[in-house]
């Protein structure tokens, strides 16, 4: 009688286990990726990063998981990790403009202005009206696009002392803005003030 009861309990456990696995399929890398962007769009960057990293672990060839991870790491201040993630992603898809844009901002945050300019310029040469395909809550208009890329160029060129190139980037955002002479101290101050105003507006 006791042995019969044990067999019955084991049979029920097996049936319940099969039933559970049938109704709760394993979450896929694609599911995790989608979940990550949902978190990202809501501004939950830590949760998004976890989902992207899990997606990447399940499918190391899933390029967009590197993209999402890199953006989250950069936003959360893990700049070295973001740089490494974007580089890994770009090895897999060199032409990915979203990762190229992301790495531009990471380089700029690390004061690697020349590298930031090079990467940024590649994005704008490929698509002068480039736009990030996801909501970006950290921006005034909740968009990340060519405007931020041109502003980044303006900031980096200014830091490098290339005030003419900095002015050219600013005029992409405000064609009416002009300075008589950016080689003068007053002209440079006016340019910097404009860049600061654009930073708060874009």
136-163 residue pLDDT tens: 999 989 999 999 999 999 999 999 999 9
- Across 72-81, average pLDDT: 98
pTM listed for this prediction: 0.85
CATH class entry, domain 28-144? mainly alpha
- pLDDT band for 72, please (50, 70, 90 cuts): very high
Across the range 154-175, mean pLDDT stands at 97
- For the chain, what are the domain ranges? 28-144, 146-202
Which whole number is the average pLDDT over 130-140?
A: 95
Residues 81-101, mean pLDDT to the nearest whole number: 97
- Please give the full DSSP string across 104-140, using - where no structure is assigned: HHHHHHTT-HHHHHHHHHHHHHH-TT-B-SS--TTST
Distances (CA, A) of 128 to 10, 99, 125, 148, 178: 65, 16, 6, 12, 21
């Amino acid at each position: 009688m006791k042995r019969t009861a044990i067999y019955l309990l084991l049979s029920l456990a097996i049936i319940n286990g099969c039933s559970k696995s049938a109704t709760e399929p394993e979450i896929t890398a694609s599911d995790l990726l989608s979940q990550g962007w949902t978190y990202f769009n809501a501004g939950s960057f830590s949760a998004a990063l976890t989902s992207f990293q899990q997606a990447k672990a399940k499918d190391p060839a899933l390029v967009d998981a590197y993209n999402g991870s890199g953006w989250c790491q950069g936003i959360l201040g893990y700049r070295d990790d973001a740089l490494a993630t974007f580089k890994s992603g770009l090895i897999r898809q060199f032409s990915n403009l979203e990762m190229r844009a992301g790495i531009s901002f990471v380089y700029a945050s690390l004061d690697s202005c020349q590298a930031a300019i090079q990467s940024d310029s590649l994005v704008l040469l490929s698509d002068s009206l480039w736009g990030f395909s996801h909501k970006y809550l950290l921006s005034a208009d909740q968009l990340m696009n060519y405007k931020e890329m041109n502003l980044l160029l303006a900031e980096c060129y200014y830091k490098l002392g290339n005030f003419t190139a900095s002015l050219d980037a600013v005029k992409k955002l405000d064609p009416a803005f002009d300075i008589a002479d950016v080689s003068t101290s007053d002209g440079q101050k006016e340019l910097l003030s404009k860049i600061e105003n654009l930073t708060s507006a874009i």
